[in-house]
Structure 1
Amino acid sequence: MKLLLSTAMGALVLAAARPAQALVPTPAPTDTIVVKLPNKAVMTLVVHDAQQLRQLPLYHLDSLVARLSGYIKRADAAAKIAETDRLTTVFHPDRDQPGQQLPEEIRITTRKPGPGSYGPSNKIEVLLEKKLGVVINTDGNTNSQPRAAGRADRLAQRDSLRQARWEHKSSSTDLVFDLGLNALVNQPGGAGRPELRTLGSRYVNVGFDHQQRLGGRRSPLYLILGPEFAFNNYMLEGNNKWVNQNGQTSVALETSGRQFQKTKLATSTFTVPLMLQLSLHDRHGNTALRLGAGGFVGYRLGSWTKLKYFEEGTTYKDKDYGSYNLTDWQYGLQGVLGYRSLTFFAKYNLNNLFRDGQGPQAQTLSFGVRIFGN
């Protein structure tokens, strides 16, 4: 086969070297040259002009055939264990060994043997440059007209391309948006203990998370970094309110007869997460399982209380900004667990919500659903 390829290439280059007036113009934007080999394999060369024909010897097609042997063995091994009848495997020799005039892309489509096989013939597609390709059909079909790809072939090619993109994409930055609830934990018993309204104590987090792959191009392990902005609401149950007096923050019952609709303490925090995340993909190249764990550090940007009540036919909203003796620097543990498009998160503050001796002793636990982002 090596001798036949060399002979065919020589004939093609000689044809390209003839004067331009001897060439028969074709209306199509590309020229197709079909070489039928003795073993009934068909090699099709797709070029755009004579100049590309003259460049073919630069790619050493005889050594290319030898290189294809290893790729075909890997593609056949993958096809035997694939769940579909057809499988397309994509290789990028020029990326793996740059500067050696290797093909940009080699795409091998194989099918399982047997009476149930369907779709187009087994084929090898070699992309030497973006506009120059070689197609070799290997199933013995000598018809020079390619058959239309079946649905299974299209799906296999899509999955192969998706897998190749995942392997070569070592890092990414994604917008994340988390929505959840807050709870106060590790509180001692007794009077003055804050009781939060569950659905009113909301947690919102928005930011940009950068993912950096650790290890080789098939490694599922990533390092996750921020920045993020978190907003925590702590809404009290009943007719209680947050009070800041004499350097102390506490919870007090309203005694004036005013009935509160909302009494909450809110904070805004700049945080930087640092996590290790395991991202596993299914056979179609989609992320199937995400499992991440790590920590975070942050700084409180602002805090305020908000009272909402109805009095004499009018609704009032009183907002008061202040530190409320809240801890400025915050740190803790966090984790994510996701399956396909559904991801849950949890964050646990190791620091107390208030400074020691200046407010109720409690730590924050936030949990919920990641609306979008990895």
Structure 2
Amino acid sequence: MQRAFLPFSLLLALVLGLSSQAQATTLARPATVKDTIVVRLPNKAVITLMVRDAAQLRQLKKYQLDSLTSRLATYITQAEAAAKNATTNQVTMEFYPDKDQPGKNMPEQIRITTHKTAAGTSSSNKVEVMMDKASKNTGVSFKIGGKTDAERKARELNRDSVRLKNFEKPHTKSHLIFDLGLNALVNQKTYLARDGQPESLDLRSGGSRYVNIGLNWDPRLGGKHSPVSLTIGPEFAFNNYMLSGNNKWVNNNGRTDVVRETDGRQYQKSKLASSSVNLPVMLRLQLRDSHYRPTFLVGAGGFVGYRIKSWTKLKYTSEGTTYKDKEDGSYNMENFLYGLQGTIGYGDLEFFAKYNMNSLFKAGAGPDTQVLSFGIRLIGVN
């Protein structure tokens, strides 16, 4: 293909004639562009010639390109002046050089769109000029700056290739998870307090927090493109059960009760907390779009666990001094844990729910209730 015909003066004039604020859109890009020449200048400007064949490229000799370049600079100056006085962020102006200078093979129409930019910011300049006399089947497009469609498509294909490579290997992935949520008591049955009166157990929702940290493995089930995997791995959970009102947890005579404070103290915090180690086993479905980006995901399964430690904590102020009383003990809580859990999400957003099928306390040694934990997964994998 002949490439030497384009004079350096044209390249220099095109670069110097363009304002940093101007952008012109093509009138009608040829339906089938087969050949592309990209010229990169030292100041990082880019000139792209897009033609269908060599014959169309040779026709450029008949256009007055130097004159066109000077005219472009004039048009852009006019467009900038109009944009400064405009009330909108975008101004489009159309020029007809072929009518101004008939018989000189000038473009029939040039459309220049000028965008206002915020102070202190830079814009990517792009000028596309469709030089076409009357036929819509022939033409040459000039583009100054910006990215060509071919370059953008190549960049996207490269990103897709990287995502696909990461998706296909390794067959088993490991990842850290971090869950943050709340605890609620469910299926609670009325129990008799120490004075023989029925009493219900009320938690302070905002203070009854659930935190879970774990290391999960996700072996893929099926082929290398299968969206289904198995999730297993150790997790460490911390549950807080903070009482509402001026109540406290009391462990006495092999029984755990909620007792109202009567000596005048006003509790700022009154909670029972526990830590446990759990082993989840879940099936996970992770769908992806055509570019291998993660979309909808859902996981469901169960878990087993063991309570490691439990304690109570009271916070109150007396005579201007703040006290924090902490007492370790089993508080008759169940040691072995089991239940159901699941996750659901889209993209990077994922939520979890965990239902303890075992009672919070041993039978007859405390309130008869179960625990539901729910919240958001802050760290996970897609």
Instruction: Tell me which residue corresponds to 2:42.
Output: none
Mapped to 2, the partners of 1:229 and 1:170 lie a distance apart of 25
Q: Which residue of 2 aligns with 1:303?
A: 310
With over 3 angstroms needed to count, the CA separation of the structure-2 counterparts of 1:309 and 1:283, relative to structure 1, is same
Q: Which residue does 1:151 correspond to in 2?
A: 152
**1:124-273 alignment to 2 at 5 Å?**
150-189=151-190, 191-273=198-280
Q: Deviations over 1:182-210 (max 9, x none)?
A: 00110113633210000000000001011
Please tell me whether the aligned partners of residues 354 and 372 of structure 2 are also in contact (alpha carbons under 8 angstroms). yes
Alpha-carbon spacing, 1:259–1:117, altered in 2? closer, same or farther (3 Å)? farther
Measured in 2, the distance between the counterparts of 1:261 and 1:140 equals 81
Which residue is equivalent to 1:349?
356
Cα contact 1:325–1:359 (8 A) shared by 2:
yes
Tell me the C-alpha RMSD between the 2 structures. 2.4
1:328 pairs, out of 317, 320, 335, with 335
- Paired AA for residue 341 in structure 1: D
Alpha-carbon deviation of 1:116? 6.2
- Check whether the contact 2:301–2:342 (CA below 8 A) recurs between aligned residues: yes
Q: Distance in 1 between matches of 2:369 and 2:166?
A: 46
Structure 2: distance between partners of 1:206 and 1:253: 34
State TM-score, norm by structure 2: 0.60
Task: For 1:289 and 1:337, locate their aligned partners in 2 and report how far apart those are by CA, in whole Å.
Answer: 8
- The SS at the match of 1:156 is helix
Residue in 2 that maps onto 1:59: none
Gapped runs of 5+ residues in structure 1? 1-113, 122-138, 142-146
Deviations 1:149-207 (A, max 9, x none): 51122112211331233123321110100000000110113633210000000000001
Deviations, residues 79-128 of structure 1 (Å, cap 9, x unaligned): xxxxxxxxxxxxxxxxxxxxxxxxxxxxxxxxxxx92668979xxxxxxx
Q: Aligned equivalents of 2:222 and 2:149: distance in 1?
A: 40
1:159 partner letter: D
Is 1:338 equivalent to 2:254 in the alignment? no
Distance 1:148 1:278, change over 3 A: closer
Aligned residues of 2:35 and 2:53 also touching (Cα < 8 A): no
Corresponding residue SS for 1:164 = helix
Identity fraction in percent: 55
After superposition, give the CA deviation of every residue in 1:230-258 in whole Å (9 maximum; x if it has no partner): 00000000001001010000101001111
> Partner of 2:300 in structure 1?
293
Mapped partners of 1:266, 1:120: distance in 2: 68
Distance 1:271 1:159 in 2: 37
**Partner residue, 2:31:** 115
Cα distance in 2 for partners of 1:242, 1:352 equals: 17
CA distance in 2: counterparts of 1:360 and 1:185, whole angstroms:
11
Q: Structure 2 regions of 5+ residues with no counterpart? A: 1-29, 38-51, 55-147, 192-197
State how 1:32-111 maps to structure 2 within 5 Å: none
Aligned residues: 241
Q: SS of the counterpart of 1:205?
A: strand
Q: Which string of whole-angstrom CA distances, capped at 9 and with x for unpartnered residues, describes residues 22-43 of structure 1? A: xxxxxxxxxxxxxxxxxxxxxx
In structure 2, do the counterparts of structure 1 residues 233 and 261 end up closer, same or farther at CA, with 3 Å as the change threshold?
same
Instruction: Report the secondary structure of 1:199's partner residue.
Output: helix
Please list the CA deviations of residues 44-103 of structure 1 after superposition, one character each: whole Å capped at 9, or x if unmatched: xxxxxxxxxxxxxxxxxxxxxxxxxxxxxxxxxxxxxxxxxxxxxxxxxxxxxxxxxxxx
2:376 maps to a residue whose letter is: V
The Cα of 1:282 is off from its aligned counterpart by: 1.2
Partner of 1:282: 289
Distance in 2 between residues matched to 1:367 and 1:275, nearest whole Å: 16
Amino acid at match of 1:254: E
Question: Contact between 1:120 and 1:150, CA under 8 Å: does it hold in 2?
Answer: no
* TM norm structure 1: 0.61
Q: Indicate if the aligned counterparts of 2:175 and 2:215 stay in contact, CA closer than 8 A.
A: yes
